[in-house]
Amino acid sequence: MPPDAPLLIAVDGRSGAGKTTLALELAALLREHHSVSVFHLEDIYPGWDGLAAGTARYVDRVLLPLRAGRPARWNAWDWIEGRDGPDRTTAVAEIVILEGVGAAAAAARVHLDAVLWVEADAAVRHRSALRRDGDSYAPFWQRWADQESSWLAGDDPRGAADVVVQGHAGASSPHAVLLALTALPSCAALLAPERAARRGLTVDCERLNASPDPAALYAALYGESPAAVWLDSSDAALAHRLTDGRSRFSIMGDDGGSYGQQALHRDGVTEITAKAVTTRIREPFFRWLDDVWGRRAVRLPEGFDCGFGLGWLGYLGYELKRETGGRSSPSPAQALPDAALVFAGRAVVIDHAQDAVFLLTLTDGRQDPEREEWLAKAREAVRAPGGPPPSSPLPLPRFTARDTRGGYLAKVRRAQAEIAEGNTYEVCLTTSLSADVERFDPLQAYLRLRTTSPAPFAHLLRFPGFAVASTSPERFLRVTADGALRAEPIKGTRRRAADPREDAGLREDLRTSPKDLAENIMIVDLLRNDLSHHAIPGSVTVSRLCDIETYATVHQMVSTIDARLRPGRARAAVLASAFPAGSMTGAPKISTMAILDGLEGLPRGPYSGAAGYFSLTGATDLAVVIRTLVLQECDGATRLTLGVGGAITADSDPEDEWDEVRTKARGVLSALGAEFPHDRASAPAPAPAPAA
C-alpha cells in the first residue's frame, strides 16, 4: 500500500437502512483525531437503472485512485438532466468513508480496509427512504430494490463485512461502530487514539456482608439473560478447609449493560456483538484474546481478593487445538462455536469464606443510569430472603452411547498398538453419550448437577441456543495478575462407595495404583514442559504430586505445578502452549492429538476444553471442561451430550477402561435420574484395526 494511501472504510446496505446517517456521524467522531473525507455513491450512479454501472464507475474512478494515494476525480450525475454533471474531486485524507449501495461490492472489497454492512427490516427501510427523499423516490423504490436484489443474489457483502450494524437502532450506534473499528487489525494502528480513550476505565466495588443462596441470586439477576455465566464454587464448604482458594469465590455475569458484549469464535473468525453492532475479527483466536485480555487494563479494588476484576467469561472448546499444534476436525453443520464468551462490565462475586458479596461495575466516571439501576436491583437480590428457586420437573433422558462397549474396547487396543509402536506414551480416549428430549431447562439441569456432585470449578454457561452445565473438579490453568502460574491436572479416578470401609479401600487402591501414578506423572511432565516455555528459568516446581482428593461421587488423583511468568511474555501465549489440557490429550501432546482424531472421528466441542474467566487485570482461572452436560436447542427439542473417557497406557486393561467411563458418567447421569445406556450389541469386540 502506498505510504499516503488513506484508510478506506465502506458503509454498505440496502436503501433506507441508515447508511448515510451512520457514515456522517461516524465521520464526525473520527474527525476529533483524523482528517476524514466522505464519498456518497448516490452522486455517481448514472440514473435509476444505474446500480451496476455506478458501482463500476465508483471502483474505477474513486476507489482505485484513492487506494494509490491520489485524489479521485469523477463526474457527479445530474439527476434532473439525466446525464453526467460537473467534475468533482474526493481528496486524499487519513480516512475516507465510502457510503452507498454497492460500496462493498466484490470488485471493491479487495481494495478496502474495512467493510460495514447496515441492515434493517424492509418496512423500516421503505419508510426511512421515503421520509429522507420524499415523493421523488416513491415511484422508483421497487425499481431500485429489484436492482439491489439482483446484485445481492450473486454477491454477499454482508457475509464479507467486518462490522454488521442494525440500522435505526439508536443514538449509541456510531460510538459502538467506532469502538468496533478500533478492534479490527486493519484499523488498529491508525485508530490508536480511539483505542486509548477506552483505557481510562476503572472497576467500582461495593461490598455487602451477606450470604445469599447462590442459585436464588443467579435466578433473580440472570434467569432471563440471553447470555450469562455462573462460575460456581458449588462445593463452597471447601472454602473453609482448602488454602488455595479453589472453592472460595463464585462469579456471575452477563452481556448486559453499557459495556456488555458476546463473542463467538468459529474456524478462525471471532464475532463480537455489542447490542446493535457485530464485529468480525478474522485472525487466530488466541491472538484476538491477547489483544482484549492480556494487557492488564485495570487494577483490583482494595480489600477484594478475587482475581476477577470484570472481563470475559465462558469456554474455549477443544477444537481450538487447530491453533496449538492439532489438526482441524470436520464439524457437523450444527456444531457449537469453538469458543463462546461474554464480556461482563458488571458482575456479582460471592466470597464464601468471608460471607460477603461484591458488586463490580465498570465505569468511565460519567453518570450511567443503567448502571445505577442494576446496582439497586443487585442489592435487593442479595438481601432478599429465601432459598434456591423451586425445582421444576425435567423429562427423563434416555441416553445412547456413541461407542458400544466392544467398540470402545477395540479403540483402547488400537491406542495400545500406537503406544507399542512408539508413537505415544498415553492416549486420553473419549466417547460420548447423547439424548434428545423435550425442551430441557439449563438452569434446572445445572441445579441438579450441583446438588448431586458439588465441585470447586462447577459452572453454568448460557448462550442463545445452547448451554454448558458442568461440575468440573479440575483446574486447567491459573495466571494471577502478578504472573504466578498454576496447573492442577487430574489423572486417576475411583468411584465412591456407600460403605465407609469399601470407600476407604477404593481411595487406597487409587493412591497405590502403579498405572494411575504413571498416568499422572506423565501429565505432570507434559505441563512442566508447557509452562517452561514462558516461565522464569528455575521457577517451575511441582508443589504437590499424586495427592488424593475426594468428591461426592469420585476419588481423584491430583498434582500441582507452579511457575512464574517471564516478564514481557504474552499471557494468551501461555494459555495456548498448555491448550488443550494434557490431562485430556495424553503425551506427547501433538502426536497424540493426531491419533485421537483417527480414533474418535468427531469433534469434542466444549468438552475437554477450558472454562472460566479472563479478567481485565490480566488474570485468568480456567477449569477443564469435564463432568459436563452440553445442551443444544434443536427444532423445539434439546439435544443433551455428555463426554466421558480415560487415559490409556501400555498396561491398561480395556475392561477397566470401560468401567472408568461408566464411573465418570455416573455423577451427571444420576443427577438427571438417567442410567448408563446398555450396549447396542452383545457380540464380541472386533479385532483392533490400525489407527487412522
Residues acting as catalytic residues? 474, 491
Of 454, 458, 438, 462, nearest in space to 219 by CA? 462
Q: Residue 175 has which C-alpha cell? A: 460510538
**Which helix or strand (DSSP H or E) is residue 431 part of?**
strand 426-438
- What is the C-alpha separation between 118 and 126, in angstroms, rounded? 14
- What is the C-alpha separation between 326 and 335, in angstroms, rounded? 18
| Cβ partners under 8 Å of residue 573, min gap 6 | 286, 290, 534
| 3-class secondary-structure state, position 240 | helix
| 3-class secondary-structure state, position 637 | strand
Q: Residue 611 has which C-alpha cell? A: 472454562
CB 314 within 8 A of CB 619: no
Triad 440, 442, 443: Cα angle to 5°: 125
Of 503, 486, 596, nearest in space to 550 by CA? 503
- What is the C-alpha separation between 489 and 513, in angstroms, rounded? 17
The Cα-based distances of 108 to 10, 64, 277, 374 in angstroms read: 9, 9, 23, 45
Helix axis angle, 214-222 to 442-452, nearest 10°: 170
Triad 425, 432, 317: Cα angle to 5°: 75
> Cis peptide leading into 588, omega within 30 of 0?
yes
Of 400, 440, 452, 396, nearest in space to 676 by CA? 400
β-partners of residue 628 are 470
**Intra-chain end-to-end CA distance of the chain, in Å:** 46
Triad 421, 422, 428: Cα angle to 5°: 100
Counting Cβ atoms within 10 Å, is residue 207 exposed (0-12), middle (13-18) or buried (19+)?
middle
Q: Residue 677 has which C-alpha cell? A: 445406556
- What is the C-alpha separation between 448 and 672, in angstroms, rounded? 7
**Which helix or strand (DSSP H or E) is residue 173 part of?**
helix 173-183
Q: Residue written as cell 448514472?
A: 46
Q: How many residues does the chain have?
A: 692
CB 646 within 8 A of CB 596: no
Q: Residue 496 has which C-alpha cell? A: 465412591
The residue ranges of DSSP E strands in 310-388, in sequence order, are 311-316, 339-344, 346-351, 356-363
- What is the C-alpha separation between 573 and 623, in angstroms, rounded? 17
- What is the C-alpha separation between 44 and 31, in angstroms, rounded? 25
